[in-house]
Copies of this chain bind each other. A is one copy, B any other.
């Protein structure tokens, strides 16, 4: 049987999740083209590497040539000064989408983030149609790419899945992650489903494992066919023993974005 794609480009391939995706997406394509601003190690026979900055439009255009799907996990992964966000996440993602349009890429899977909706209170139990409420400039950049990708679908027919990943780490590190955790294996399942679902149009989905505590409604992304198989129950006793109970009225407890709602503006950080 032939693979779903000939060449998949993975941006951010040297990062925490990018490294996992190299392993996980290998069955889906003949070639994985790996892109990052940093060196990519342990290249496998089915992999090829390209090192460049997403803000470099010509480099992006070249990296997308011959690609039929993009897994766009590159860019800065947390709050940073405006110029860095602007270059890596806003300009960089525009370069990716415009290159994808020019080269006839069929589908993009984008690593959006819970921080695009970080200021929704937990008790709102939002679904994926809720208005954005970013909790950081980083989150604002995620909202920008979600809007941009919607435009590229509606006008140019380029399909996208935006994954609002909550907390994807080896293990839940605190009480919040008991509900916000996305295991690496479920992350791979989610990207795989996004790449192989029959029709995604423009889809926004929450990226979470099947944890017992459920705070958001992912029903409108049911067409992806993502079925998580992990949950945090096996970590619960340890986490609850190590971490004290949380204050139910603290902003970092009240809002989906967690401690991101507590950090100040990067300009204020910079002035320290």
Footprint of B on A, CB under 8 Å?
A: 1-2, 4, 82, 86, 90-91, 94, 98, 101, 116, 119, 122-123, 125, 129-137, 139-140, 143-144, 147-148, 150-151, 154-157, 159, 175-176, 178-179, 193, 196-201, 204, 211-215, 217, 219-220, 222-227, 237, 240-241, 245-246, 248-249, 253-254, 261, 265, 267
Q: Are A245 and B123 in contact (CB under 8 A)?
A: no
Contact A265 B157, CB 8 Å, known A151-B139, A199-B246 = no
In the complex, residue of chain B having the shortest beta-carbon distance to the beta carbon of A90: B90
Q: Are A197 and B213 in contact (CB under 8 A)?
A: yes
Cross-chain pairs A/B with CB under 8 angstroms, 26 sampled:
A1-B240, A98-B265, A119-B155, A122-B199, A122-B201, A132-B132, A134-B150, A135-B151, A139-B151, A140-B147, A155-B265, A156-B265, A157-B249, A159-B248, A175-B198, A176-B198, A179-B198, A179-B223, A193-B212, A197-B213, A198-B246, A199-B248, A199-B253, A213-B224, A214-B223, A215-B223
Contact of A137 among B4, B151, B246 (CB under 8 A): B151
Q: Are B133 and A131 in contact (CB under 8 A)?
A: no
In the complex, residue of chain B having the shortest beta-carbon distance to the beta carbon of A137: B151
Cα distance A248–B106 in the bound complex, in angstroms = 10
Contact of A143 among B147, B198, B245, B267 (CB under 8 A): B147
Q: Are A248 and B201 in contact (CB under 8 A)?
A: yes
Contact of A222 among B90, B101, B134, B215 (CB under 8 A): B215
Q: Are B217 and A155 in contact (CB under 8 A)?
A: no
**A179 — which chain B residues lie within 8 A by C-beta?**
198, 223, 225
Cα distance A227–B248 in the bound complex, in angstroms = 22
**A90 — which chain B residues lie within 8 A by C-beta?**
86, 90, 144
Cα distance A199–B255 in the bound complex, in angstroms = 11
Cα distance A227–B213 in the bound complex, in angstroms = 9
**A175 — which chain B residues lie within 8 A by C-beta?**
198
